[in-house]
Structure 1
Amino acid sequence: MADLRRSLVITFFSSSGATLMRFAVSVVLAYLLTPSEIGIYSMTVVFVNLAHVFRDFGVSTYLQREPELTPDKIRSATGVVFTTSWLIAIGLFLSSESIGLWFKEPEMIPVMQVLSIGFLLIPFGAITNALLTREFAAEKQAIVNIIGTTSFCVACVAFAALGHGPVSLAYANLVNIIVCAIAYIPYRPKGIPWLPSFAHWRSVTHFGLGSLLSSCMVALNNALPDLLLGKLGSAHHVGLLSRANSTVTIFTHIAGSTVSYGAVSYLAQAHHRGESLVPVLSRATSLLTGVGWTALALTTVLGKDIVQALYSDVWLECVPAILPLSLAAAVTMAFHYVPFAVTAIGRPYLSAFPVAATLLARIAFAVVLFDGTLAGFGWVLCLATVAAAPITLLQQRRHLGFGALDLLRALLPSALVAAGTAAVAALLALALPSQLAPLVRLLLMFPVLALAWYLLLRASSHPVLDEVHRLGGMARARLALLRPNV
C-alpha cells in the first residue's frame, strides 16, 4: 500500500503537470485552429482510438494481472502486441480515403494516415510501460510522460502556427510516440527479453479476448457521440461538443491516470489473497467522487466563465451542453472502479454489458430525441448513461458483493460536499460584478470555494479529509527540510 500511495502521489503531480501543459496548448489551438478543423481531428481520432483497443489486445492488462510473469510470457505478449499493432497500422492507412469520403471530409484522410504510422512505433514502449505499472514504478513513468508531453505540446503549436490545420495534431501525436519509445529504453526492467515469441500466445490471447470485448465496447461507446453528431450534424457541432467535453473533463484529465493507476494490479493482488474487494471499492469510490463530483458541480455552475476565460467568446455555443455532460460524467464516476475490479477477478468481459447497453441507448435516444441542438445531444448522452447504470449496479452486487446500500453510503458524503460547494459558487457568481473579466472572477472565487470545500469535508467526515491532511503533512515536512538551519 505504501508503494502504491507513493506511486499515486508521483502520478498525480506528473499527470497534473502534463495535463496543464496540454490544456494550455488546447487554449492556444483554440485561437490557431477553427472549430471545424478541431472537429475534423476529433472525428478522425475516433477511429484511431477504436483501433487502439485491438492494437493492445488486452496485453497491457495481462502483464499487470498475471500472477507469475516469466520471460517467455513477456516475449509472447511482445509478439502479440507487435502483430496486432502493425496489422492495424496497415488497415488504418489503407482505409483512410474511404472513411474521409464517407464523411465527406477529405481533410480527414491525411490526418488518419499520419496517425496510422504511430501504430508501427507504439509497441516499442508499450511493454515497458505495462511492466513499470505492474511494479508501481511511477517515478520512471512520470519522467517519460513529461518528456513526451513536452514534445507533443511544442510540436502542436509549431505545426499549427505553420498552417498545417488539423494535421498539426496528428504530427504532434507521432512526435510524442517516437520520443516516448526512445525515453522508455533506459527504464526497461533488467532481464526483460527484447525478441518477441509466440510460445504462450494462447494464454495471452485467451485473457486478451475477454479484455478485448470490454475495451472494444468502451471504445465504440466513446466514439459514438462524435460519429453520430458528425453524421447528424456537422464538423462544427463535433468541434463544439469536443470543447464542451474538454471543459467537463478538466478534472478527469488532471487526475485521470492517478485515479486509475495500478488499480488492476492492486485489486488483483487483494483478490489472489482471498480478500473482499468491498472495502477497497467503497473507499476508492468515495475518494474519487469527493473530489470529482465537486469539480463537476463547479464546472456546471461556472461553465460560462470557464469557457470565456479559457477559449474566448467564440466557443460560447458549447456552454448549454455542459450540464447534461456533467451529470453523465457524475454517474459514470460512481462506477469508475467496477471494470478494474471485474478484470482483477479474471472476468474482464463483464464490463462489456453495461457499456453495450449505453451504446444502444445512445443510438436509440439520438434517433428519437435529438432536436438538432448541441444541448439536445448532450441530454441524449446523459439519459443513455442513466439508463444503463442499473446494469452496472447489478453486476457489482452479484460479482463483487458491492451492493446498492454500500454504494449509497460511499456516495452520500460526496453528494453533500458537491451540492454545498456548488451553492457557494452560485452565490459568488451572483455577488461578483459581471463586468469583471471571467478569469478574474474565477481567481477571486477560488480561495473561497477551496475553503468551503474543506469545511464541508470536515462537516461530513468525508474520507478525503484524511488524504488532504496527509498531503498537507507531507508538504510541511518537505518545507521543513528546505528551511536553512539557524
Structure 2
Amino acid sequence: MVTNLADRVMHGLRWATFVRLVTQIMAWSVTIVVMRLLTPEDYGLVSLTGIFVMYAGVISELGLGAALVQSRLNSETVLRSAFGAVLLLSLACCAALIASAGWIAEFFGEPTLRPMVQFTALQFPISILGTIPHALLSQRLQFREISLAGLISAMAQSGVTLLLAWLYPGPWALLIGTLVATIVRIAVLNVYSPITFPPSFKFEPLRPIMRVAVFIFGERSLWYWYGQFDSFIIGKRLGAHDLGAFSTAKLLASLPLDKAMEVINQVSFPAFSAINDDIERVRASYGKALRITAIYAFPIFWGLAAVAPDVMYLLLGEKWLSAGLPAAILSLAMPARMLTSIGSPVLLALGRSDVSMRLLVQTFIIVGAGLLIGSRWGLLGVSIGWAVAIPVASIWATLIALRIMNMPLREYLKHVRGAAIAAAAMMLLIEFGIEPLLASAPTVVRVAAQVAAGVAAYWVALSILDRDGRDETLGMVKRVLGRGDPAAAS
C-alpha cells in the first residue's frame, strides 16, 4: 500500500510539475507580450471585475468537491445530489451577478464594469459540469488527466487573449480569454471523467459530508477575501491604474508561490487524506514538505526581491515601472506565506477544517488591518502593510498547526533555518556586492550577474548549512523526473 501510494503520488507530481512548467513557460511568454500591449488600467478593471465574480465561483461549489475527495465517497446517489446542489448554486450566482452588475460598477466608480461583470457571469452555467469530474479524478489520484486539462485550457486562453489584445487592445481581451479557458478545461475534464447521470435535488445523501463542506467553504471564503482584500481597498481608494500596478506586482511576487502550490496542493491533499489515520506518517511527510519547500521558497522570493524593479523594466517596459518596488516588498514576505500554506492541506486531510478556518479568520483580521493602515500612504504604504502583516499572521498560524500535529517548534525550525540563512546571505551579496559594483552597467547585464552570483552563493551556503536538505531536494527532483525511487517519497 505504501509503495503503491508513493508511486501514484510521484507519478501525479511528475505529471503535474511537467505540465505546469510547460504551461507557465507558454503562458508567461504570451502574458509579457499582452502586458506590453495593454495598460495598468486595463488590468485594474479586470481585477475589479473579478473581485465578486471569483467569489461567486467559491459559493457555487460550496466546498463539495473537496469534501468528496476528503471523504472518498463516490456512490452515484451522493454524486447526483452534489451535482444538483452545484447546479442550483451556479445558476443562482449567475443571476445574482447579472442583477448586481450595475451596483458593482457604481460602487467602484467605473461604469465600464457593468457589462464586464455580466459577461463574466456566463461562466457559471458552464462550470456546473466541472466540479464532479474534477473531484472524481482527484479521488483516483489521476493528476495526469487534471494537469492535461489545465495545459490544454491554458493554451487556448493564451492564443485567444494574445490575438484579441493584438487586434482590439483592452480589458475584454483578458475576459474573453478567461471564458474560453473555462469552457475548454471543463470539456477536457468531462472527456476523462464524464458525468453519466442526471442531477438529483434530494440532498439528504450529502448530510455526511456537509459539515466538512461548509468548513471548507468557509475556509476558502476567508482565503479568497484575504487574497482579494487588497484589490478591494486599492480599487476603491486609489483607482484602476494603481490597482493594475499593484496586481501586477503581486502577480510577479506570488507567481513562484501560486504555481508551486497549485502542484503541491493538487497532490498533497489527496495524498495526506489517504494516510490521515496515521499521524506519525503525516507528521514525517509534513516535515519533508517543509524542508523541500523552504529550500525552494527562500532563494526564489528573496532573490526576486533583490532584482524585481530591474526585471519589471526589462520585461514590461517603462509604463509598468510603478509596479517594481511593490513587487520587491511583497516578495520579502512570500516565504512565510508559502510555508504556512503547506499546513492547510494537512489540516484538511486530518479533518481539522475547523482549526484551519479559525486560523484564516485570524489571518484575515491581521492582514486586513495592515492593508487598511497602509492604504493611507498610497500604493507603497499598502505594499508595506501587506508585507509586515503576512509574517505576523504566519507565525501565529504555524504555532497552532504545529500543536495539532504534535511537532515541536525546534523541529520545525530545524527544517527551514538552513535555507533561510543561506538565502539571506545570497540577498546580502546581491544588494551590497553585485548591485553597487554594476550600478552603471546595462540593466540586462546587471540582472544576469545578480542571478548568477545569487545562485552560486545560495548553493555554497546551503551546502554548508544543510547538506542533507540539499541532497533530499535533489533526490525529490530526480524522482519527479522519473530518475529515482518513488518509494523514497513516502
Q: How does 1:306-325 map to 2 (within 5 A)?
A: 306-325=311-330
Partner of 2:65: 60
Deviation at 1:424, TM superposition (A): 4.1
Q: CA–CA distance in 2 between the matches of 1:465 and 1:430? A: 33
Q: CA–CA distance in 2 between the matches of 1:340 and 1:473? A: 22
Going from structure 1 to structure 2, the CA distance change for 1:204 and 1:24 (only over 3 Å counts) comes to same
- Paired residue for 1:468, among 468, 474, 488? 474
Deviation at 1:35, TM superposition (A): 0.9
Q: CA–CA distance in 1 between the matches of 2:275 and 2:469? A: 21
The residue identity in structure 2 corresponding to 1:135 is R
Q: How does 1:116-135 map to 2 (within 5 A)?
A: 116-135=121-140
Q: CA–CA distance in 2 between the matches of 1:303 and 1:407? A: 30
- Paired residue for 1:340, among 342, 345, 356? 345
Partner of 1:436: 442
The residue identity in structure 2 corresponding to 1:99 is I
Q: CA–CA distance in 2 between the matches of 1:174 and 1:367? A: 32
The residue identity in structure 2 corresponding to 1:465 is D
Alignment gaps of 5+ in structure 2:
1-5, 485-490
Partner of 2:415: 410
Deviation at 1:4, TM superposition (A): 0.6
Q: CA–CA distance in 2 between the matches of 1:291 and 1:433? A: 28
Going from structure 1 to structure 2, the CA distance change for 1:414 and 1:209 (only over 3 Å counts) comes to same
Deviation at 1:187, TM superposition (A): 0.7
Structure 2 residue 173 is the aligned partner of structure 1 residue 158 = no
Q: How does 1:286-305 map to 2 (within 5 A)?
A: 286-305=291-310
Give the alignment's TM-score, normalised by structure 2. Answer: 0.90
Output the aligned Cα RMSD: 2.4
Partner of 1:361: 366
Deviations 1:417-468 (A, max 9, x none): 3123323433334444643242x54345545544444333332225243232
Contact 2:245/2:322, CA 8 A, preserved across alignment? yes
Number of residue pairs matched?
475
Partner of 2:333: 328
Q: CA–CA distance in 2 between the matches of 1:228 and 1:274? A: 41
Partner of 2:197: 194
Q: How does 1:64-463 map to 2 (within 5 A)?
A: 64-163=69-168, 165-188=170-193, 193-197=196-200, 198=202, 199-273=204-278, 275-426=280-431, 427-432=433-438, 434-438=440-444, 440-459=445-464, 460-463=466-469
Q: CA–CA distance in 2 between the matches of 1:69 and 1:476? A: 31
Q: CA–CA distance in 2 between the matches of 1:178 and 1:72? A: 26
The residue identity in structure 2 corresponding to 1:461 is R
- State the percentage of identical aligned residues: 20
Q: CA–CA distance in 2 between the matches of 1:102 and 1:68? A: 43
The residue identity in structure 1 corresponding to 2:116 is V
Deviations 1:253-272 (A, max 9, x none): 44232222222211122212
Q: CA–CA distance in 2 between the matches of 1:83 and 1:102? A: 28
Q: CA–CA distance in 1 between the matches of 2:60 and 2:482? A: 45
Deviation at 1:34, TM superposition (A): 1.3
The residue identity in structure 2 corresponding to 1:279 is A
Going from structure 1 to structure 2, the CA distance change for 1:329 and 1:470 (only over 3 Å counts) comes to closer
Deviation at 1:25, TM superposition (A): 2.4
Going from structure 1 to structure 2, the CA distance change for 1:155 and 1:382 (only over 3 Å counts) comes to same
Partner of 1:483: none
Deviation at 1:6, TM superposition (A): 1.9
Contact 2:127/2:186, CA 8 A, preserved across alignment? yes
Q: CA–CA distance in 2 between the matches of 1:130 and 1:168? A: 30
Partner of 2:14: 9
